[in-house]
């Protein structure tokens, strides 16, 4: 598999490490105009056992993107639609994209239509769907009423709230029917882009089956999330720091095991290629992302329109 990685920052360089596990005969190319990012990416690549077996090269900006089987988009959301369009125009039909996917509903809708027209499979990197204990939990929540409460510290609700909104969709087997946001003030400057914002706060959601979600990111600490799930079969407290306490059949004795980003990329691309990926494609994720962007816009700007840019990444 020939893979084009666009963006070699913190997440991009971790995806790069995961590409060491690509099958024999594969090759990787990286595009990032920032010299420090390229240097860090190369260092992290060389830390991985077996990296010499997969050819790696760094592309110049003006080099064409023809000849690749897959792309990973690990840049911010600001130019995501233009970047996706260029990737698809180059003939790449398999794409893994970092979240937040798009900053406006209009861009997201345009991406759905573009991918469908070209027969492209574009998936969001929301890896909670790969966590074994959450996969087992889904048998007790899909198409049923349940409650999911997420308590976390100051870990970027704007950037990372989608992880738990998508988990709510995954566990319930359907997107939310409503999402409301109450964001803390003052807002924070986004560490990735000072023109954008970040924040703590609360998201509430519900779906058509009677399931409910409450996400609370609190200022003052950076603790990993604790997920509390209540179903007709019992209760589970799942700590992203590792522990799981549950009286739900099949969950007792399990821990929270998030595969490392530096170990996942090759497997995620293989799942997309072979039709076995649990990650949502653009169409599946559209409604959840639409409702999230609308909720943020209403709180941040006092209004929402599909073409209104939400200042998050």
Q: What is the pTM of this model?
A: 0.97
Residue 37's pLDDT is 96
Which secondary-structure segment (H or E) carries 294? helix 282-301
Residue 254's pLDDT is 93
Residue 168's pLDDT is 99
Rounded Cα distance, 46 and 242, in Å: 29
Neighbours of 178 (CB within 10 A): 12
Contacts of 29 (CB under 8 A, 6+ apart): 2, 3, 4, 5, 56, 57, 58, 59, 68
Closest to 4 measured CA to CA, from 86, 108, 100, 107: 86
Residue 215's pLDDT is 98
Count of residues in the chain = 313
Residue 299's pLDDT is 98
Q: SS3 of 295, please? A: helix
Asked if residue 90 has a cis previous peptide bond (ω within 30° of 0), the answer is no
Residue 59's pLDDT is 95
In the numeric block, which tokens belong to residue 219? 């200022």
Residue 7's pLDDT is 97
Q: What is the mean pLDDT of each run of 10 residues along the chain (313 residues)?
A: 97 97 97 96 96 96 90 96 97 98 98 98 97 96 98 98 98 98 97 94 98 98 97 96 94 89 94 97 98 98 98 97
Q: Kindly tell me the number of DSSP H helices and DSSP E strands found in the chain.
A: 8, 15
Are 72 and 92 in contact, with CB atoms under 8 Å apart?
no
Residue 261's pLDDT is 83
- Give ∠ CA 299-303-308 in degrees, rounded to 5: 100
Residue 259's pLDDT is 82
Residue 64's pLDDT is 86
Residue 272's pLDDT is 97
Residue 19's pLDDT is 98
In the numeric block, which tokens belong to residue 171? 């566990």
Residue 312's pLDDT is 98
Residue 260's pLDDT is 85
In degrees and rounded to multiples of 5, residue 208 shows phi and psi of -70, -15
């Amino acid at each position: 598999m020939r893979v084009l990685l666009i963006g070699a920052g913190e997440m991009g360089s971790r995806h790069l490490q995961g590409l060491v596990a690509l099958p024999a005969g594969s090759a990787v190319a990286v595009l990032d105009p920032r010299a420090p990012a390229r240097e860090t990416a190369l260092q992290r690549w060389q830390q991985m056992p077996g990296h010499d077996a997969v050819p790696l090269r760094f592309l110049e900006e003006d080099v064409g993107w023809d000849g690749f089987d897959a792309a990973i988009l690990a840049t911010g959301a600001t130019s995501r639609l233009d970047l996706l369009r260029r990737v698809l125009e180059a003939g790449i039909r398999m794409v893994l994209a970092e979240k937040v996917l798009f900053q406006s509903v209009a861009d997201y809708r345009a991406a759905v239509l573009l991918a469908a027209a070209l027969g492209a499979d574009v998936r969001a990197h929301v890896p909670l769907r790969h966590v074994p204990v959450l996969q087992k939990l889904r048998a007790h929540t899909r198409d049923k009423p349940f409650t999911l409460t997420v308590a976390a510290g100051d870990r970027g609700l704007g950037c990372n709230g989608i992880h738990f909104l998508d988990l709510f969709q995954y566990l319930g087997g359907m997107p939310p029917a409503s999402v409301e946001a109450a964001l803390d003030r003052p807002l924070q400057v986004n560490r990735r882009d000072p023109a954008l914002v970040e924040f703590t706060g609360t998201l509430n959601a519900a779906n058509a089956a009677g399931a409910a979600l409450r996400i609370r990111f609190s200022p003052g600490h950076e603790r990993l999330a604790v997920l509390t799930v209540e179903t007709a079969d019992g209760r589970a407290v799942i700590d992203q720091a590792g522990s799981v306490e549950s009286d739900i059949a099949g969950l007792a004795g399990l821990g929270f095991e998030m595969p490392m980003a530096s170990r996942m990329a090759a497997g995620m691309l293989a799942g997309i290629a072979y039709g076995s990926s649990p990650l949502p494609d653009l169409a599946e994720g559209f409604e959840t992302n639409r409702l999230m962007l609308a909720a943020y816009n209403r709180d941040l700007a006092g209004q929402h329109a599909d073409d209104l840019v939400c200042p998050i990444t």
